[in-house]
A = this chain, B = another copy of it.
């Protein structure tokens, strides 16, 4: 299927809300003067729902507000309205297992960098079926590369603000594809691993779990926070600390966390095979069990249901 056909196919099962109104995907458009379009001056969140129940909605909304805070972005609508509009699009879509993307821009303004010209936001909510990742990805794992596109520095464009400035990640992802890998992780200016293009990164060495700290320059993933919580509660040996490409290439286990993927193993990093079966990943397997329990509990909560 060529890219055009692929895009047309993608449009068939997608629902868009803009500022509280529902649009067909063909009509879901935004002004060319929207600052999100002109400057990437927008923030966003991605989460999903299962069986008509949205997952960790409050956490994502909380993080949306944190992104706004980091970018001094004024939010003119209420938190309740953002949540209401999101659920409205989900309800219209009638997709039980749904992916949802919430985009909030600094609205239209005359052509000027000055964000103080902003006077309203545009809120776009996009709903589509939750992507289904193959069993093989969960059992065998991902092939990642360590990109030589350095992660944006937090003193320049803070990766902890989940914004519409994603070229840095696009470039790293493209490099992975060129090398026939699934995706890429990125290093900061000090040579430390930070995060993947759209996920956090973890490794295990001699029974100790490692994940980079916020100060390395990363987005504090919701799933990352949950797994940190598990480590603390269940007395895993966790070190939130900087590590190098050399260190992770020599790890016993490597895995990622992401809102849509959960915990997913990495079988190969650059040209180095880490391991290829769940038996070789005792620590990750245990964390995964605990994480699945958290998801079960979350799914049983009778809040933020759309079906």
Contact = CB atoms under 8 A, between A and B. Distances in A.
Nearest to A183: B113
Interface stretch (A4-12, A203-211, A218-226, A271-279): A4-12
A152 B155 CA distance: 9
Contacts of A32: 16, 18, 28-30, 103, 124, 126
Nearest to A161: B167
Most chain-B CB neighbours within 10 Å: which of A110, A170, A174?
A170
Contacts of A253: none
A174 B72 contact: yes
A288 interface: no
A195 interface: no
Interface in A158-216: 161, 163-171, 173-174, 177, 189, 197-198
Contact of A33 (B25, B31, B189, B198): B25
Contacts of A29: 29-32
Interface in A64-97: 71-72
Contacts of A165: 39-40, 157, 165-168
Most chain-B CB neighbours within 10 Å: which of A40, A119, A148, A152?
A40
A141 interface: no
A156 B153 contact: yes
Given A4-B119, A149-B155, A157-B157, 20 more contacts: A3-B118, A7-B109, A29-B29, A29-B30, A32-B124, A37-B37, A37-B42, A38-B164, A39-B40, A41-B166, A71-B167, A71-B171, A113-B169, A113-B197, A116-B177, A152-B152, A152-B156, A156-B156, A157-B171, A165-B165
